[in-house]
Amino acid sequence: MPEPPLLAFERGTLVLPATGWDGELARLLEGLFALDARTGNYRAPALCYAETAIRLHRAKIPFRDGVRRFERRRFNFTHKHPPRPYQVEALQKWIAAERRGVVVLPTGTGKSLLACLAIEKAGRDTLVIVPTLDLLEQWRENLKNSFAEPVGVLGGGRREVHSLTVSTYDSALPFMEHQGGRFGFLVADECHHLPSPASQWIARMSAAPFRLGLTATPDRADGGEALLGELLGPLVYARGIEELAGPYLSHYATRQVLVPLSAEEAKEYRHTRAQYLGFARTNDLKFDGPEDWSRFLATCMKSEEGRSAYRAYRRQRSLALSAQSKMEALFDLLRRHRHERALVFTDDNATAYHIAETFLLPVITHHTSGPERRALLDDFRKGTLPVLVTSRVLNEGVDVPEASVGIVVSGSGSVREHVQRLGRILRKVQGKRAVLYELVSAGTGEFHQSRRRRNHRAYQRTAAL
Amino acid sequence: MLTRELLRYKVAAGEIIPLLLPVTSAWLAWAGKALELFRASPGRNMVEFQEETTALAESSGHRAALRGFFQLLERRITLVPGPGEDDLARRRELLRRASARMREEALPSLSRWKVVAEQELSTSGWQGPLYPEIPARRTVAAFEDMEAGALLERYNLALVQGMLLHAHSLELELPGSSPGQLRHLLRLLRFFGLVFKAEGEGRRLHIEEITEGLAGTPRRRAAGLASLMAFLPQLPFELEARLEIPGAEPGRLRLDGGAGLRSSSPPFFDYVPDELRVFRDSANAALRELGFLCAEAPLPSGAPAQWAVPDFSWRAPDGRELHIEIFRDAAPLRRRVEQCASAAPARTVFAVERRLFKDEKQTFPVPHFTFRDIPAPRRFLECARAAGFLATASEPLGAPVGAETKPI
């Protein structure tokens, strides 16, 4: 009797020998595997491991499994508080979807606890992937305190692999290429990052049959969220900020603060805006979607007139986002909330540093070193530094429950970014009432940008000041 | 490599032709101007300096080429280091005090606060900007100089590297390359996970489906292609690539030694992972009586027209050679062992990860040695001696650890 075929793992793919492929095996695995002419074998992304194994088992076709290197585990999750009803509901939905899927819950509602419950239920070697080093540390602490297990870390210069391991997206990518069969359960935190061109290969090269994606904001500007179903499973559960504010999140309000441009700023704004819009009209360029933007950029780079139009575009945007009166408004807000903890968000580093130097405030950007960043966050939590200025690096993930005031000095038109920024100040603390301010230059394109980013149910309470 | 917006090429009849810069007096003069600017950069603010380079590029009439020069030259700049630990601690203290004042004092206006901020800064004795570490504020400390001709060579190579990043498949002909050069090239392809098919004694290589994802991660592929292009000018080569550059018609890129590309890239041997390099250096230190062979001929594998590529080779004074091949995945190891089963080369040491021991009875039917991961040189020596290679122990080897050095 011939030896059963070997299902092997090779560089993030499944490989089956071509021998014996004709007949039932070919029919059974059609659509999953393709002939790799380079090696003469059949190949599929490691993502297809669960489906392949199930089909072969169901058809009672014996095979040697050279992919699976994960084990069944008994993880005992010790949690201080019982799970909340929506966490139990989300867990049940995920289990019902064959332990695959994406759960959408706002920041501060216990996605980590849900993941720990799922880890216990999955009972397989587990890899948690996170987008930043801050989150890596948070998850390592969380898992260490939740399970009586050593926790491995991939990222930030460390490379220890255990049954429970946390990794950054960046470190998981090369790891999966060779160790894609090592984990049976893949948890992707902030999983809206996963569909990016590079990161999606983490999920594709992983053979994990069980998968869980966690995010507060699944939508992506490039429409990549459509890939999440393929990479992690279907959307199994979703609750919004507005549904959980009160019992599980802090009560909150959002305020739009309209500020005027100075006479000089307004004059320059009108001039530069007319210049770039004129160029766009002459070249029949529109601004309806991401592709239009790429076309605008490409056209601008082809001539001196275009480059000048692009500079005009940048200048008018900068005038709107960094208007001088925003500094006055920011000062008023900081003074009004001077006994609270506040996060100040900007769209770019230059504005963040300008604010930090004007008000003598600490700033965290991607230029801030790891130790300084930890020290500043520590001081913020203690209250010795009650205000932190940041551009985008604190938009998501970082746990600062003490923050109750958010001030968006400038931002993009992204709903996701705006919701994530709101989420920073909503973590439930007894007696906390959170407020998010948005400073907007009146009569500029920023007003429309603001309207776009507030196109979310969480912003129905907005009132202009 | 150059970034996409700086790639200069023309498309004609399905051919994508890179606009390489000829070594003419005009281009040497432009390269010289760019270098002069950079030679004068130390001590200058980075942003101001970049404004100047931009102005030169815009006014030159060769905007893309000069921006390409600047992109390459900026990588040779070192910036003045940011604040040290003491400075950071002082700044944090200053911020704490300022925060306390903002909290306690009833400040009527922003202008009043600015006065307070000035007072705090002067009391603390803080000099210069509060955040000097941001690149826009940093000054250039040094520039690593080069000749104008070398800059043109570097530019041409970077241009082709940037174009190759958009390759879907590659065909390489390497007529007349030495076995040592081939070995380096194959090691490079293996290291970067580029899947290739070799024909004609390894001198014709097909690298396919580069962007389809079956050949490693995108970042590694990019690094692999850049390294490949840096390596190729060091040997006779012909290259044909199918390119899909966004915004341009798909087409073929053909290059050979006649294109005049030059590379000063060190041999690929310098790119081996740290753990292998450490092993090589330690083994060299331990095997002082043997000579290290950096570029040796591939070993006959046992199968017709196939050969093995050892990772390291040493030669004893009596002329015998000691080779080591290191495997980290089961599949290639299994294939190699199958080859050896039919015609085992003499004195081969297999270094194998512990996890591959699982089915050792099936996998290792030949009498060699296994190691856990990259072997310690000490164990490598033990095995070399046990195999009768070293007559005497030239180094104190310490106690053997049976669990990790496992003859099978």
pLDDT in tens, B94-136: 999 988 888 776 677 888 888 888 888 888 888 878 888 887 7
Q: Say which CATH number the domain at A61 has.
A: 3.40.1170.30
Q: What is the mean pLDDT of residues B234-253?
A: 86
Nearest Cα to Cα of residue A66 among B105, B330, B398: B330
Q: Where are the alpha helices (DSSP H) in A245-338?
A: 263-282, 290-300, 304-321, 324-336
Assigned domain for A74 exists? no
Which uninterrupted H or E stretch holds A235?
A: strand A235-238
Judge contact between A44 and A32, C-beta under 8 A: yes
How far is CA A446 from each of CA A261, A442, A453, B183, rounded to the nearest angstrom?
12, 8, 10, 58
- Number of other residues whose CB lies within 10 A of the CB of residue B225: 24
- Same structural domain for residues A50 and A153? no
Judged by CB atoms closer than 8 Å, whether chains meet at B96 and A301 is answered as no
pLDDT at position B248: 78
Q: Given a cut of 60, is residue B372 above it in pLDDT? A: no
One-letter amino acid for residue B364 of the chain: F
Instruction: Tell me which of A360, A376, A409 to substitute to probe the interface with B (most B C-beta atoms closer than 10 Å).
Output: A360
For chain A, what is the mean pLDDT?
Answer: 88
- A370 — contact with chain B (CB < 8 Å)? no
pLDDT tens by residue, B379-392: 666 666 665 655 54
Output B234 or A105, whichever has higher pLDDT.
Answer: A105
Task: Return the structure tokens found at A154.
Answer: 């991939």
Question: Backbone phi, then psi, for B134, in 5-degree steps?
Answer: -70, 140
CA of A445, closest CA in chain B: separation in Å?
A: 26
Q: Given a cut of 80, is residue A66 above it in pLDDT? A: yes
Judged by CB atoms closer than 8 Å, whether chains meet at A360 and B355 is answered as no
Q: What is the mean pLDDT of residues A39-59?
A: 90
Nearest Cα to Cα of residue A103 among A182, A195, A202, A217: A217
- A160 — contact with chain B (CB < 8 Å)? no
- Same structural domain for residues A62 and A95? no
Interface pTM, i.e. ipTM = 0.75
Residue of B nearest to A43 (CA): B214
Chain A contact set for B121 (CB, 8 A): 360
- A71 — contact with chain B (CB < 8 Å)? no
Chain B contact set for A367 (CB, 8 A): 133-135
One-letter amino acid for residue A25 of the chain: L
Query: What's the rounded Cα separation, in Å, for the pair B154 and B320?
Result: 41
- Domains of chain B in start order, with CATH, are 85-132 (no CATH), 165-266 (3.30.70), 272-407 (no CATH)
- B113 — contact with chain A (CB < 8 Å)? yes
Query: Helix/strand/coil (H, E, C) string of A69-130?
Result: CCCECCCCECCCCCCCHHHHHHHHHHHHCCCEEEEECCCCCCHHHHHHHHHHHHCECEEEEE
Judged by CB atoms closer than 8 Å, whether chains meet at A66 and B330 is answered as yes
- Same structural domain for residues A204 and A349? no
- B95 — contact with chain A (CB < 8 Å)? yes
Residues forming beta bridges with residue A66, ordered by sequence position: A8
CA of A86, closest CA in chain B: separation in Å?
A: 38
Q: How far apart are the first and last CA of chain A?
A: 81
pLDDT at position A285: 84
Q: Above pLDDT 90, what percent of chain B?
A: 19
Task: Tell me which DSSP letter residue B382 carries.
Answer: H
Judge contact between A147 and A119, C-beta under 8 A: yes
For chain B, what is the mean pLDDT?
Answer: 74
| CA dihedral sign of residues A190, A10, A158, A119 | positive
Binned at pLDDT 50, 70 and 90, residue B337 comes out as low
Judged by CB atoms closer than 8 Å, whether chains meet at A334 and B102 is answered as yes
What SS3 class is residue B334?
helix
Task: Return the structure tokens found at A80.
Answer: 């201080």
Residue B45 exposed, middle or buried by CB count within 10 Å (0-12, 13-18, 19+): middle
How far is CA A383 from each of CA A390, A400, A432, B116, rounded to the nearest angstrom?
17, 11, 15, 21
* Least confident among A95-99, A210-214, B114-118, B331-335: B331-335
Task: Return the structure tokens found at A424.
Answer: 């920073």
Output B293 or A416, whichever has higher pLDDT.
Answer: A416
- Number of other residues whose CB lies within 10 A of the CB of residue B388: 9
Q: Which residue shows structure tokens 């270098």? A: B35
* Least confident among A279-293, B20-34, B47-61, B349-363: B349-363
Question: Backbone phi, then psi, for B252, in 5-degree steps?
Answer: -105, 140
Residue of B nearest to A331 (CA): B110
How far is CA B276 from each of CA B282, B291, B310, B315, B322, rounded to the nearest angstrom?
10, 18, 13, 19, 17
* Least confident among B68-77, B134-143, B179-188: B179-188
Q: What is the mean pLDDT of residues B295-312?
A: 55
- Same structural domain for residues A229 and A118? yes
- A33 — contact with chain B (CB < 8 Å)? no
- Same structural domain for residues A297 and A286? yes
pLDDT at position A202: 94
Judge contact between A134 and A400, C-beta under 8 A: no
Rounded to 10°, the helix A304-321/A445-453 angle is 70
Q: Which of A39, A357, A385 is closest, CB to CB, to B99?
A: A385
Q: What is the mean pLDDT of residues A351-360?
A: 91
Query: What's the rounded Cα separation, in Å, for the pair B263 and B268?
Result: 12
pLDDT tens by residue, A298-333: 788 778 888 889 889 989 988 998 888 999 999 999
Binned at pLDDT 50, 70 and 90, residue B301 comes out as low
- Same structural domain for residues A40 and A99? no
* Least confident among A3-7, A220-224, A260-264, B6-10: A220-224
- A83 — contact with chain B (CB < 8 Å)? no
Query: What's the rounded Cα separation, in Å, for the pair B165 and B218?
Result: 10
Q: Which residue shows structure tokens 């950079």? A: B38
Nearest Cα to Cα of residue A101 among A72, A79, A122: A122
Residue B351 exposed, middle or buried by CB count within 10 Å (0-12, 13-18, 19+): buried
pLDDT tens by residue, A450-459: 888 877 777 7
- B308 — contact with chain A (CB < 8 Å)? no
- Same structural domain for residues A301 and A331? no
User: What residue numbers bound the domain in which A10 lies?
Assistant: 6-66
pLDDT at position B407: 30
User: DSSP letter string over B147-169?
Assistant: -HHHHHHHHHHHHHHHHHTTEEE
- Same structural domain for residues A369 and A423? yes
Instruction: Tell me which of B3, B51, B103 to substitute to probe the interface with A (most A C-beta atoms closer than 10 Å).
Output: B103
Judged by CB atoms closer than 8 Å, whether chains meet at A360 and B114 is answered as no
pLDDT at position B370: 43
- B117 — contact with chain A (CB < 8 Å)? yes
Q: What is the mean pLDDT of residues A131-145?
A: 89
Assigned domain for A77 exists? no
Judged by CB atoms closer than 8 Å, whether chains meet at B193 and A177 is answered as yes
Q: Which residue shows structure tokens 């014709």? A: B204
List, in sequence order, every beta strand (DSSP E) within B200-268.
204-207, 238-243, 251-256
Judge contact between B57 and B66, C-beta under 8 A: yes
- Same structural domain for residues A231 and A132? yes
- B288 — contact with chain A (CB < 8 Å)? no
Chain B contact set for A387 (CB, 8 A): 99, 102
Judged by CB atoms closer than 8 Å, whether chains meet at A43 and B214 is answered as yes
Judged by CB atoms closer than 8 Å, whether chains meet at A335 and B102 is answered as yes
Query: What's the rounded Cα separation, in Å, for the pair B71 and B75?
Result: 7
Task: Return the structure tokens found at A120.
Answer: 């216990």
Q: Which of A10, A198, A372 is closest, CB to CB, to B217?
A: A198
Output A416 or A258, whichever has higher pLDDT.
Answer: A258
Assigned domain for A189 exists? yes
Output A140 or B199, whichever has higher pLDDT.
Answer: A140
Question: Backbone phi, then psi, for A43, in 5-degree steps?
Answer: -140, 145
Judged by CB atoms closer than 8 Å, whether chains meet at A358 and B92 is answered as no
Assigned domain for A333 exists? yes
Q: Which of A13, A362, A376 is closest, CB to CB, to B214?
A: A13
Q: Given a cut of 60, is residue A96 above it in pLDDT? A: yes
**Largest CA-CA distance found in chain B, in angstroms, rounded:** 90
- Same structural domain for residues A372 and A438? yes
Binned at pLDDT 50, 70 and 90, residue B363 comes out as very low
- Same structural domain for residues A387 and A425? yes
Nearest Cα to Cα of residue A281 among A316, A309, A251, A241: A309
User: DSSP letter string over A184-229?
Assistant: SEEEEETGGGTTSTTTHHHHHT---SEEEEEES----TTSGGGGHH
Interface of A with B in 186-245 (CB under 8 A): 197-198, 201, 204
Assigned domain for A37 exists? yes
* Least confident among A160-169, A269-278, B333-342: B333-342
pLDDT at position B392: 43
Q: Say which CATH number the domain at A102 has.
A: 3.40.50.300
pLDDT at position A399: 73
- A173 — contact with chain B (CB < 8 Å)? yes
Query: What's the rounded Cα separation, in Å, for the pair A25 and A319?
Result: 64
Rounded to 10°, the helix B46-60/B63-74 angle is 150
Assigned domain for A124 exists? yes
pLDDT at position B364: 40
One-letter amino acid for residue A40 of the chain: G
Of B92-96, B225-229, B295-299, where does the model show the most confidence?
B92-96
Chain B contact set for A157 (CB, 8 A): none
pLDDT tens by residue, A388-421: 999 888 777 677 888 999 999 998 877 888 888 8
Task: Return the structure tokens found at B65.
Answer: 């080429």
How far is CA A322 from each of CA A222, A260, A269, A316, B213, rounded to the nearest angstrom?
27, 11, 12, 10, 42
pLDDT at position B403: 27
Q: Which residue shows structure tokens 């819009």? A: A277
Binned at pLDDT 50, 70 and 90, residue B292 comes out as low
Task: Tell me which DSSP letter residue B172 carries.
Answer: E
Q: What is the mean pLDDT of residues A84-94?
A: 95
- Number of other residues whose CB lies within 10 A of the CB of residue A349: 20
Judge contact between B198 and B174, C-beta under 8 A: no
Interface of A with B in 376-435 (CB under 8 A): 376, 379, 384-387
Q: Given a cut of 90, is residue A184 above it in pLDDT? A: yes
Binned at pLDDT 50, 70 and 90, residue B398 comes out as very low
Assigned domain for A308 exists? yes
Output B209 or B259, whichever has higher pLDDT.
Answer: B259
- Same structural domain for residues A314 and A332? no
Judged by CB atoms closer than 8 Å, whether chains meet at B92 and A379 is answered as yes
Assigned domain for A76 exists? no
Of A36-40, B65-69, B271-275, where does the model show the most confidence?
B65-69
What is the domain count for chain A?
4
Residue B55 exposed, middle or buried by CB count within 10 Å (0-12, 13-18, 19+): exposed
Query: What's the rounded Cα separation, in Å, for the pair A69 and A206?
Result: 11
Q: Which residues have C-beta within 8 Å of that of residue A166, sequence separation ≥ 6?
A: A127, A128, A129, A130, A136, A139, A140, A143, A151, A152, A153, A154, A155
pLDDT at position B272: 54
